[in-house]
Each structure stands twice: as structure tokens, then as C-alpha cells.
Homo-oligomer: A and B are copies of this chain.
Amino acid sequence: MSELIGEEIKYQGPRFDVVRKIFKNEKIEYIRDIAQTKDAVVVIPITENNEIIFVKQTREVVGEETLELPAGIIEEGEDNKVAGLRELKEETGYIANSIEFLTEAYASCGFTNEKLYYYVAKDLVLDKQQLDEDETITEVIKIPAEKCIEMVKNNEFKTASANIALLHYYLKYMK
């Protein structure tokens, strides 16, 4: 087993910090740079017609347009479900009267501690979207659940979070 022998903050930013940890095993000393972030929540909103609600988004970070589920950072001290309901409302305008845990997973545990928590939201009522000023959501789109699984199979979703959410939902509720 490796032993932690040192730690240093290398960078502090608004979205994530970089923390360098130094470890020692039987053979050598080695480092791990960590993009340290808050956790995030992803919501799969299902309408009574068995459609899933997506947001079309321009992702500057990867230079692509993506079709994603409503999602966002869980703020300090905020309950996961509360964060999910808040992001759903802000990004799509929908209020959910039911929200249920689906799964959780680390985004990429070789270099970031980011963990995503996935929830299914139902009993939806449309209210008003409240986008942030730097929000890049351009459209809210409903797609029948069965069609979503075909789209997953055809590699049409570009993000890990959409793939994980839809496939876990399929395995748990549609199989």
C-alpha cells in the first residue's frame, strides 16, 4: 500500500482546484495531480408519456454541441435531491414532485475526484426556466424513452453522464 507523504495546492480556480499529492510505495516516490471539484447531480426527467427531457447545450470545453440531461454542481451543504430539483427547474423549467436515486459513479478517477449522483424525476409540472447568464442551453427536447436507448446504442450521446443515466434507467425500469 502507498503512503501519502505530501500535499500541495497547485492552482485554485472557480470550477476546480489542482492539488498535488505525493505518495511512497515499496519502490519509489510518485505524484498524483488531482482536479479537485465539488460533486455533481444528473437528473433523468420522465414525463407521463414516457419521454425523457434533454437540454441541447454548447460545450465550450470540448467545442461541441451536446444533448445532455439536466445536471449541475451540488453546492456546499446542499442535499443531492434538492440540487437535482434546482438544476431541473433552472435548466428546463420543470418542477418534479417525485425524485428517486438511480446510481452514482466517479467521472474519471485517475485525475479527478468528481463524483456524479444520478436521480430519476417524475410527476413533472412545467414552470419557468431560469438560465444563468453564462448558460449555454439552447433548447429543451423531449425524446421517447425507447428511442433514447436506440440512440445510446448508435453512440449518439457524447457524454458519459447521458450514457450512464439512460443505460441504468433502461436496466432498472425498461428491461
CB nearest neighbor in B for A31? B14
CB nearest neighbor in B for A107? B108
Chain B residues with CB under 8 Å of A4's CB are: 60
**In the bound complex, CA of A155 to CA of B168 (Å):** 9
Q: Is the CB of B171 within 8 A of A149?
A: yes
> Which A residues, 142 to 175, have Cβ-Cβ distances below 8 Å to chain B?
149, 152-153, 155, 157-161, 163-164, 167-168, 170-172
Give the distance to chain B from A43, nearest Cβ to Cβ, in Å. Answer: 15
Chain B residues with CB under 8 Å of A18's CB are: 11, 13, 18
Q: Is the CB of A62 within 8 A of B167?
A: no
**In the bound complex, CA of A158 to CA of B116 (Å):** 10
Q: Is the CB of A109 within 8 A of B171?
A: no
Q: In this assembly, does A128 line the interface, its C-beta being within 8 Å of a C-beta of chain B? A: no
Question: What string of 1s and 0s marks CB contacts (under 8 Å) between A11-43 and chain B?
Answer: 101111010110101011011111101001000
Task: State the A residues within 8 Å of B (CB).
Answer: 1-2, 4, 10-11, 13-16, 18, 20-21, 23, 25, 27-28, 30-35, 37, 40, 58-62, 64, 66, 103-116, 133-134, 136, 149, 152-153, 155, 157-161, 163-164, 167-168, 170-172
